Homo-oligomer: A and B are copies of this chain.
């Protein structure tokens, strides 16, 4: 069974200019996916009528077209007019909707001490819909609208994400949308998370396993220096998914660290929590990023006790107890100092498990012996300790971000 295809059209000049990040496209797409629909494209256009009309014309060729924005009271909000034109429908005023918007606008006019007459043309404009369209009522002053063209079900919602998300459940129960959803089945989803392996090796492993298809869809995605594998399974394809999953993961199983949506920091915190261990950090080049990530998760305070950002050598000595001669002999970026930092953090923070990071994040500070990108890490706990180092390519941000991820994964290995 092929899933009904969905086009998403988002309008807003601040969005097409990149001044604000669009939240509605991803929201629509995730919802479509969850409902067993297939999001095929997201088009973002500004308020140029030609651009918007072209995007709607393409959108209405799909079985479902989800549209956001361009529903305001002013002349440059043209979404409804253009949907009507593309669908070949005349525009008619929805009297019930007009009363609804009028009530809100009268209250607003009163509050602003303005004459309602200033608003009435805008209200009428916002209550004008393509003939045969269904009003979903309003959130704010803009309405949600559903229109079945015969070949496509169009849902039009206001641009402000809160209003859009408030009206969305009403769209889902509208009869034309219900008819489409009756033709879909919600797919199953499995995830595998890997670290230390390249995207291309995972892709090769998938190809060697026979590739996806036949109701099993595999996405391989490098995210935050990890590889995330998503397996979407149509009902009935479970056996094929089991076989593919096993064959795909077998050669790369040493890199597998997660089978659910939990992030690496949550896995580390959960592992500590289960064992009743407390955790602390000592960071130089990552400047607090490891601690920040470990405290991103709610409830981290029962495991994570604290961290020391020892940027200056004096702080490494004073607060982490790294011996001055060790710093002088080996330099701040060395396995010896990484180890001393981790042990120092364990002692000073009075924690069971500690992680340290010291490296050259650049752009300055590199030498031939210790180039930009050289990072030493050290994890220590009651179960032992692991030193680790890397030579990372990339700029300062990449080196810092990747070092923090490596630190979290080193903790996982230790635990």
Contacts and interface: CB of A to CB of B under 8 A. Distances in A.
Interface of A: 13-23, 25-33, 39-46, 48, 51, 54-55, 58, 72-75, 108, 112, 114, 118-119, 122, 160, 162, 166, 197-201, 203-204, 207, 219, 221-223, 230, 281, 283, 286-292, 294-296, 298-301, 304-312, 314-315, 318-319, 348-350, 362-365, 394-398, 400
Task: Give the most central of A222, A296, A308, A350: most B CB within 10 Å.
Answer: A308
Contacts of A300: 287, 311
Contacts of A306: 308-312, 315, 319
B51 A45 contact: no
A350 B314 contact: yes
B41 A55 contact: yes
Interface of chain A, main secondary structure = mixed
Given A13-B219, A51-B40, A122-B200, A27 B18 contact: yes
B287 A199 contact: no
Q: Which 4 pairs, one residue from A and one from B, show the smallest C-beta to C-beta distance? A: A287-B295, A18-B29, A288-B288, A288-B291
Q: Which of A33, A292, A296 is the most central at the interface, judged by chain B CB atoms within 10 Å of its CB?
A: A292
A27 B18 CA distance: 6
A16 B39 contact: yes
A396 B400 CA distance: 23
A288 B309 contact: yes
A304 B311 contact: yes
A82 to B, nearest CB: 14
Nearest to A212: B76
A273 to B, nearest CB: 14
Contacts of A230: 14, 19
Contact of A198 (B46, B55, B112): B112
Given A16-B29, A18-B28, A319 B349 contact: yes
